[in-house]
Structure 1
Amino acid sequence: MRKSLSILLLIMILSLLSLAGCGDRVTGGSGEDGKIKIIAAHNQTSPENPYQYGMKEFKRVAEEKSNGNIEVEVHAGTLGTSESELVQKLKLGGADVVLVSPGFMSKTGIKEIDLFAMPYVFESYDHWEKVVDGKVGDKVAKMINKKSDNDFKLLGYWSAGVRHYYGKKPLHSIEDIEGMKLRTQTSGAIADYWEATGAVPTAVAWGELYQALQQGVVDASENSYPYFVQQNHHKTENGKYITETAHDYTTRFLLINGNKFDSYTEEQQDVIMEAAQAAVEKERKVVKKQEEEYKQKAIEDGAEVNQIDRQPFIELAKPIQNQRAKEINTMDLLKQIRELK
């Protein structure tokens, strides 16, 4: 009997040690000294991408302000190059802070986020910042937290620049896009919009887009200068004509696992929020700076840039915005966004 009890006790001790070891390996877990480690990840692989600058600023401020009590490990595309991978890791503890787009967030069941992704919902950076940094942004942040059951807590709004058309020919009017295979989302309000222009929305993975443009799988794509120029899309046969449609002042969500955030001390939470705000300011500044730099680089590399009358594009977008806002019950928010112009 004594021998059996000894064996049972040994098994219990080993089990507890095993669990403790697992706890140390879980990201964001607190050690015995109260220190925490945060895994921060985004899906872009270029070290020059604005996301990386923002995440490095988050790391710098969090570690400095906490006097080493918080360690941040930044992953640029190494934990996954798709947003679905990153969000899954955020839920399961494989990552603590991630960056995702409205298009993906809406797929998690928070349909209201589509409001920030619709073409021409924002008319300038100033307009966009008034929205995300004001009451509308606060409402959306609370919505994300509530509808995700605290899986997602918003730390800040980042930008991925202003998206423009680039393709095998320039656009001089809205009619010029008729019949073109455009790499963009193939469902939702974004796809509806491009279909309304006459384009054919076509799905191509970001990592395969250079080849798709080069080989004529698609006739055109759309993105902001820092992103498509860093990938040399402007050097392909179907990417060298850039028309500044400015159809999307993009929004990106910097998220932390809300349940894990709640487990941190109040002092740690304050430091994380301070680091997040510093990262917001840094990332936005880098985006705006890189937009000018990479536009100039594209021109120097032989790309041709032209302006276009955007009003027909804007007018086409309004009924699609209205329809989608009604479907996701955000007409009040859309009205508030329009009033801030």
Structure 2
Amino acid sequence: MKKVICAFILLVLSSLVLTACTDQADPNGDGKIKIIAAHNQTSPENPYQAGLLKFKEIAEKESNGTIEVEVHAGTIGTEESELVEKLQLGAADIVLVSPGFMTQTGIREVDLFSAPYLFNSYEHWLKVVDGEVGQEMAEIINEKSNNSFKLLGYWSAGVRHFYGKKPIESISDLKGMSLRTQTSGVIGDFWKKVGSIPSSISWGELYQGLQQDVVDSSENAYPFFVQQAHHTTPNGKYITETAHDFTTRFLLINGEKFDQYTMEHQKIILNAAEESVQAERAATNKQDVEYKEKATEEGAVVNKIDREPFIEIARPIQDEFAEEIEAEDMLKDIRELE
């Protein structure tokens, strides 16, 4: 009798566990799931929006409506730290974040991808993120987050350049200039080394900061700063094509929640993610050209610069950082793909 009772209890407990898992992934028990997907950019023309809308289109179409995707463009957070927190808490299911903000979760290796001049071309970046190094980084993210984060794909955020109140002809021109950028980590170290003063003014306040002389300069890719009209401000007019970062963004899903979806839904989500990767990259590359033209038409002044002195400063910073986070082998692999 005791054996029967024990078996019954185990059966009930197993049923409760399975029901709990099912309820989280499919709360209505009707085979349908809703996915909250978010990025921090508010412009409807932003490449991030193009990528998530492609994800929505494919996921809903291939699932015959059993997957509903709700896309948020800055409406549940304009700071990436907010989005990471919402992903961890379950208030969002898919988010887009940068390596710098991912380090706040304790996964320091990801910041290697944001090191200035790590990539020397878009083709080099593709070899890295779409190859074995990219797969290794995906595994690190999943393992070190205890499955809180599962990487769905690598998005691009264009090629980042300097823009400010004067053109940069040499490194010495940066001395003493306040620069809106990441203030800590490998990015902050680089900009301090070239003589500028990193500032942490928020993205949403940057237009006003450039307009009112709160900050002398900033750095970003054409689609992002031109859509925000930074080039029309006194301290954003002069664009120097430093090309210091072929930018990486992580498309993440809550891994625990992903594992609770049916195999069919998992397959559809992964396929929709791959389609979104291609759509977002294409939109970014197209807009890189279009928004450079728009900036110059609206009075911005663009100049090129010899990047070698910047690269010479960046390389030892990369070496020191890779040693600090025990990623020397990964850095070596990235350089061998140049």
TM over 0.5, shorter chain: yes
Deviations 1:16-41 (A, max 9, x none): xxx99xx98x7x53432211111111
For residues 288-299 of structure 1, what are the structure 2 equivalents within 5 Å?
288-299=285-296
Tell me if 1:222 matches 2:219: yes
Q: Secondary structure of the residue that 1:250 maps to in structure 2?
A: strand
State the Cα distance separating 1:203 from its structure 2 match.
Answer: 1.4
Distance 2:308 2:201 in 1: 28
1:120 to 97, 117, 121: 117
2:336 to 316, 334, 339: 339
| 2:13 equivalent in structure 1 | none
Distance 1:30 1:256 in 2: 18
Residue 98 of structure 2 aligns with an amino acid whose one-letter code is S
| 2:279 equivalent in structure 1 | 282
| 2:312 equivalent in structure 1 | 315
Q: Secondary structure of the residue that 1:251 maps to in structure 2?
A: strand
1:302 to 292, 299, 309: 299
Distance 1:323 1:100 in 2: 24
RMSD: 1.5
How many residue pairs were aligned? 320
Tell me if 1:209 matches 2:206: yes
Residue 327 of structure 1 aligns with an amino acid whose one-letter code is E
Residue 334 of structure 1 aligns with an amino acid whose one-letter code is L
| 2:5 equivalent in structure 1 | none
Deviations 1:123-170 (A, max 9, x none): 111000100000000000000000000000000000111000000110
| 2:7 equivalent in structure 1 | none
For residues 20-35 of structure 1, what are the structure 2 equivalents within 5 Å?
28-35=25-32
Distance 1:192 1:92 in 2: 32
| 1:4 equivalent in structure 2 | none
1:171/1:308 contact within 8 Å kept: yes
1:103 to 76, 100, 104: 100
Length-normalised TM-score, structure 2: 0.92
1:42/1:75 contact within 8 Å kept: yes
2:76 to 74, 79, 91: 79
Distance 1:311 1:98 in 2: 35
Tell me if 1:271 matches 2:253: no
| 2:142 equivalent in structure 1 | 145
Distance 2:85 2:252 in 1: 12
Distance 1:121 1:97 in 2: 27
1:40 to 21, 37, 53: 37
Gaps of 5+ in 1: 1-18
State the Cα distance separating 1:301 from its structure 2 match.
Answer: 0.2
State the Cα distance separating 1:69 from its structure 2 match.
Answer: 1.4
| 1:236 equivalent in structure 2 | 233
State the Cα distance separating 1:48 from its structure 2 match.
Answer: 0.4
Deviations 1:280-325 (A, max 9, x none): 0000000000000000000000000011000000111000000000
1:30/1:37 contact within 8 Å kept: no
1:159/1:251 contact within 8 Å kept: yes
Residue 161 of structure 1 aligns with an amino acid whose one-letter code is G
Distance 1:162 1:132 in 2: 15
Residue 88 of structure 1 aligns with an amino acid whose one-letter code is E
1:164 to 161, 166, 184: 161
1:251 to 248, 251, 276: 248
Gaps of 5+ in 2: 1-18
Distance 2:180 2:61 in 1: 42
| 2:197 equivalent in structure 1 | 200
Distance 1:138 1:243 in 2: 33
Distance 2:216 2:82 in 1: 29
| 2:188 equivalent in structure 1 | 191
